Structure 1
Amino acid sequence: MKYSAFSAVSIFVGTRFTLSSKKANQLVSFISALAISGLVLGVAILIVVVSVMNGFERELKDRILSVVPHVVFFGDAADSDWKTRAEALMNHDEVIEVSPFTQLQGMVHSKGTTRPIQILGFEKDRTPAIFYELLEEHMLNFPSSNEVLLSEVVASALNVSKGDSVRVFSAKTAFGGTSVHNFVISGLFSTRTELDQVLAITSMSHLSKISSTKNAMTGLRVQVVDPFMARQLGYDLLEDLPFGYGFRDWFQTHGNLYKAIQLSRNMVGILIFLIVAIAVFNVTSMLMMSVLKKRRDVAVLKTLGCSRQDIVKIFFVQGTIIGVFGIVLGVIFGILGCSIIADFVAYIEHGTGRVLLDTTIYPIDYVPVDMRFSDIASVALSAVVLNGLATIYPALKASRIKPAEELRFH
């Protein structure tokens, strides 16, 4: 008898072969369980890993690049007409925000501890939006005169808190000498990024008075619509500034981080995909064992009129049922894993007292997760395709069984 596509007989017999649990088939059942477990773990881990790497990429764009300027323009230190420069840049449609700033780099000292520090000074009405959000989030006021807002990481290292005083040492000139500045901590904040290792904020007017620039800005921080077009926009915007200005974009300061995230995502994805592939080909081993156990059944089916194509379909159905079952479970556990991994890591950190994501090593101090339907579908579809390929050889092997040879002693 011949059947088009997957006939009811092929599906029925393939399903019966899959669900059969005779004692004689304990080894096959064990290998089937092993194959399903491998698929579940492989698919679930791949979904979690890809989602976490997506999360790091998203946080780079949404959090880190909201704190880090997309483009910074530097010019003559004596140029005090920053309002005109800022207005010229804001005329561009691609520019979201322009913030003049003064910068002071040095060492901060308190209670016998010294750390590197980068103090950014802003005008109150031109403070970058992200820093205003931080002020509101931590219920802080904009610092005045000799006040400074200190990151929680730096404050913890110095063992200081709101109201304490710190001393900042900086170079007096490019040729040497040291200046000492006293600040009062008016509040603490956290960006939850690697920037917390050195960051502090104060008023631009006060910082420019005590720094070597003297009443002038250090540069212009510019946020643009598309951060990945920052370099090209930098060249375009440079045409609206006087001769002597230059710029630096975020690719120069954090480009390696973005490349590292992309490389890590690709490499880890490939490794986990290989694990899935190995798990899928456990299905091949299981089906080969099933073929050995079902040789007599296959011979009987052939004598009843099943063609070689029907036998192929039967074992293809068996492999597909096992594969799809494992893949569906893997997707479910992968989604569950994505939903709890951030809390799980936080729980481990709290329980052990150890920081797993230290911002001296990682760009952020928490596990970001960004589940995307397209990635989950791609993982599941790839696993289904690999599973289908894994069933071909055993199915063909079964179709070549000769009824006369198998049944002559029965």
Structure 2
Amino acid sequence: MLTFKLAQRFSERRSRSGLFAFIASSSTVGIVLGCAVLIASLSMMNGFENVLEQKLLKAVPHASFTKVEGTFDNWARIVKIAKRDSRVAEAYPVIKQTAMLRSGDQFKGIMLEGIAPNGPHPSATEFFTDGARAQLNQLNTIVLGQGIAHTYGVEVGDTLELLVADKSSQQFRSPQRHRLKVVGLFEFGGELDHQMGYVSLDTARVIGEIKHGVSTVELKVTDVFQAPQVANSVGNQLPELVYVDHWMRTQGHLYRDIELVRTVIYLVLVLVMAVACFNIVSTLVMTVTKKRPQIAMLKTMGLDNRRIVATFFWQGTLSGLKGAFWGSLWGVALASALPQIILLLEQALHFQVLSDDVYFVSEVPSVWCWIDVVLVCCVAITMSAIATLYPAWRATQIEPAQALHEHH
């Protein structure tokens, strides 16, 4: 192709010097940096979304029903009704209550959850240390969050004191005291480690003064994003008055924040590429100015305006292709190494990017995917192609006679 070869000749480094060469190089470097940073940023958002779906939503219920007054005496019936819905993967009973944990002279408020160790139970038990779930069969035992244990210096085998409000009287009384043995730790790696403690249903009944039944029935659904619809659908079929809850209400702000940041990154993607491609406009305008005699000679030899436009289109697009190629390589490499890079920076500078008692994850995750790489490259190449339009139009306006006369 004649236009392609002309574009390559115009782009040759030996035909450039000084400021012209710097601007030409900086346009490609700008696209490389823009692509690399944007691929890494999108990978980070993918990582957070992946942790939310694959990890956090295992540790929290997808949907739950809590009786308005009292407890579910016949909770098995609630479970049966819930399982009629094909979208419900599992339904299980729990007893939820708040308590005050005492370790020495330190106090900590925790959310206590009673589960059935041998029956259906939350997926959160996957984060228990080895053998902890089996030992919950014993009365007055607890699996404690790793964050709580670390903060208060508690180890497996220690005995803790729990203070629970006395529910037998409306009057203010001193809290009831229960001594529980720590038989394992719950290690999620986020804020839940600083909030949760798990006991058996029998232990929870003793602590909560519940004779029989459970306070809540929780659901796991096949599609987490259908949890609100499933919760409302099943809730309307229940024979008792219940409070209906789902993860989009309790943890949905995390998902919305991730999607908002992703949208902002897409906007930044276009703006960064526009700034990077502005240098392509400058390079091509300078090329048109410098190559006026050559363009004039080509026009006198019969090169029409369409081919002149194609020549500058190829010159700008080649710069975009080169930037997109190297930018995608560096972006994938940066995205793959991002967790390790952040970890090294934390160790070297003695700071923590994500505090595990504040955020739902303690490490910066990163998961790159081809769709993001292709999207970033397409935007970079498209913006590069658009950047060629004005310089190409300028080239078509050159009058051969005048340009050759000025040259001589």
- Aligned letter for 2:234? L
> Which of 1, 8, 33 is residue 15 of structure 1 equivalent to?
8
**Unaligned residue ranges in structure 2 (runs of 5+):** none
- Aligned letter for 2:94? F
Moved more, 389-398 or 262-271: 262-271
Partner of 1:4: none
Give the drift of 1:359. Answer: 2.9
CA 1:242 to 1:301, structure 2 compared with 1: closer, same or farther past 3 Å?
Answer: same
Moved more, 109-118 or 278-287: 109-118
> Which of 134, 140, 156 is residue 132 of structure 2 equivalent to?
140
Structure-1 separation of matches of 2:266 and 2:89: 35
SS in 1 for 2:85: coil
SS in 1 for 2:107: strand
After superposition, residues 372-383 of structure 1 pair within 5 angstroms as 372-383=369-380
> Which of 148, 152, 155 is residue 146 of structure 2 equivalent to?
152
- Preserved CA contact (<8 Å) 1:47 1:335: yes
TM-score normalised by L of structure 1: 0.92
Give a deviation string over 1:153-177, Cα, whole Å, max 9, x none. 1111111111122222232237643
- Aligned letter for 2:61? P
- Preserved CA contact (<8 Å) 1:60 1:258: yes
- Aligned letter for 2:150? S
Partner of 1:87: 80
- Preserved CA contact (<8 Å) 1:168 1:182: yes
Give the drift of 1:115. Answer: 2.1
Give the drift of 1:388. Answer: 0.6
Partner of 1:3: none
Partner of 2:213: 216
> Which of 287, 298, 320 is residue 301 of structure 1 equivalent to?
298
- Aligned letter for 1:289? M
Give a deviation string over 1:172-223, Cα, whole Å, max 9, x none. 2376432222222112221123222201111111111111444331201101
SS in 2 for 1:104: strand
Give the drift of 1:77. Answer: 2.3
Partner of 2:43: 51
Partner of 1:234: 231
Give a deviation string over 1:52-78, Cα, whole Å, max 9, x none. 112212221221111111111111424
Structure-1 separation of matches of 2:351 and 2:179: 33
Partner of 1:168: 162
Structure-1 separation of matches of 2:8 and 2:184: 67
> Which of 391, 394, 399 is residue 396 of structure 2 equivalent to?
399
SS in 2 for 1:172: coil
- Aligned letter for 2:160? V
CA 1:175 to 1:407, structure 2 compared with 1: closer, same or farther past 3 Å?
Answer: farther
- Preserved CA contact (<8 Å) 2:313 2:388: yes
Moved more, 376-385 or 389-398: 376-385
Superposed CA RMSD: 1.9
Partner of 2:355: 358
Give the drift of 1:308. Answer: 2.0
- Size of the aligned set, in residue pairs, is 401
- Aligned letter for 1:318? Q
Give a deviation string over 1:212-260, Cα, whole Å, max 9, x none. 4443312011011122222221222124422222311112211212111
- Preserved CA contact (<8 Å) 1:25 1:293: no
CA 1:131 to 1:257, structure 2 compared with 1: closer, same or farther past 3 Å?
Answer: closer
> Which of 108, 114, 121 is residue 107 of structure 2 equivalent to?
114
Partner of 2:345: 348
**Unaligned residue ranges in structure 1 (runs of 5+):** 1-7
SS in 1 for 2:165: strand
Structure-1 separation of matches of 2:171 and 2:375: 58
- Preserved CA contact (<8 Å) 1:21 1:29: no
Partner of 2:194: 197
Partner of 2:59: 67
Give the drift of 1:374. Answer: 2.0
Structure-1 separation of matches of 2:287 and 2:101: 71
- Preserved CA contact (<8 Å) 2:91 2:217: yes
Structure-1 separation of matches of 2:59 and 2:250: 12
Percent sequence identity over aligned pairs: 28
Give the drift of 1:400. Answer: 1.1
SS in 2 for 1:21: helix
TM-score normalised by L of structure 2: 0.92
Structure-1 separation of matches of 2:263 and 2:14: 41
SS in 1 for 2:14: coil
Matched, 1:102 2:100: no
- Aligned letter for 1:262? E
Structure-2 separation of matches of 1:210 and 1:318: 76
Structure-1 separation of matches of 2:399 and 2:294: 11
SS in 1 for 2:388: helix
- Preserved CA contact (<8 Å) 2:72 2:215: no
- Preserved CA contact (<8 Å) 2:269 2:376: no
